[in-house]
Amino acid sequence: MIIRTSFSDNDYTEDLKNYWDRFWFKNYYSASDKYKYLDDYDSLLKYRELYIEAHDLLDKVFLDKDKLTNADIEKFIEVIRKSILAYIEKEHLDSIKYLTTSLSIDIVDGVEDKCENGEVIYYFLETKQMVIL
């Protein structure tokens, strides 16, 4: 699976690169992290729910690819979207609205050899490699 991500602005490509560098170790779960250290029970439940949902979906993407539905793929893209925005929010709080609307994430079949102004990252999920164009 190849995931194409872009903010349509090469000023933020480094943030996407850093996100994908640590995708497997922590960044995929960034959206649930804001609930992780809160003291109330509801926050703990929310953290657990988001974490398990993200984990189960990632397992399905790898272990049951043939059973992925369009809804599963849309949900996977949405988990990635939320986790990218949660990951970069701390450093770019002043421009988070712009980044939220400009972030594009697509599952693509391949990569073309063309210039995309250094704005686009193609992440190869199974090999954990990326190409910046």
Tokens of 113: 């050899």
Q: What is the pLDDT of residues 111-121, one digit of tens each?
A: 999 989 899 99
d(CA 79, CA 29): 8
What radius of gyration, in Å, describes the C-alpha atoms of the chain? 15
Taking residue 40's Cβ as centre, other Cβ atoms within 10 Å add up to: 9
Determine contact, residues 87/27, Cβ cutoff 8 Å: yes
Question: Scanning the structure block, which residue is given the tokens 């990252």?
Answer: 121
pLDDT at residue 34 greater than cutoff 80: no
Instruction: Label residue 96 left, alpha or beta by phi (over 0 means left) and psi (-120 to 50 means alpha).
Output: alpha
**Amino acid 130: pLDDT:** 95
Q: Distance (Å, rounded) from C-alpha 20 to C-alpha 89?
A: 15
- Where do the structural domains in the chain lie, given as residue ranges? 2-132
| pTM summary value | 0.87
In this prediction, residue 24 carries a pLDDT of 77
Query: Which residue intervals of the chain are DSSP H helices?
Result: 13-21, 30-36, 41-63, 70-89, 96-102
- CB atoms under 10 Å from CB of 122, counted, come to 21
3-state secondary structure of 94: helix
- For residue 101, the model assigns a pLDDT of 94
- pLDDT tens column, 91-106: 888 899 999 999 999 9
| For range 63-84, the mean pLDDT | 91
What's the rounded Cα separation, in Å, for the pair 119 and 115?
9
Q: Which of 23-27, 66-70, 73-77 has the highest mean pLDDT?
A: 73-77
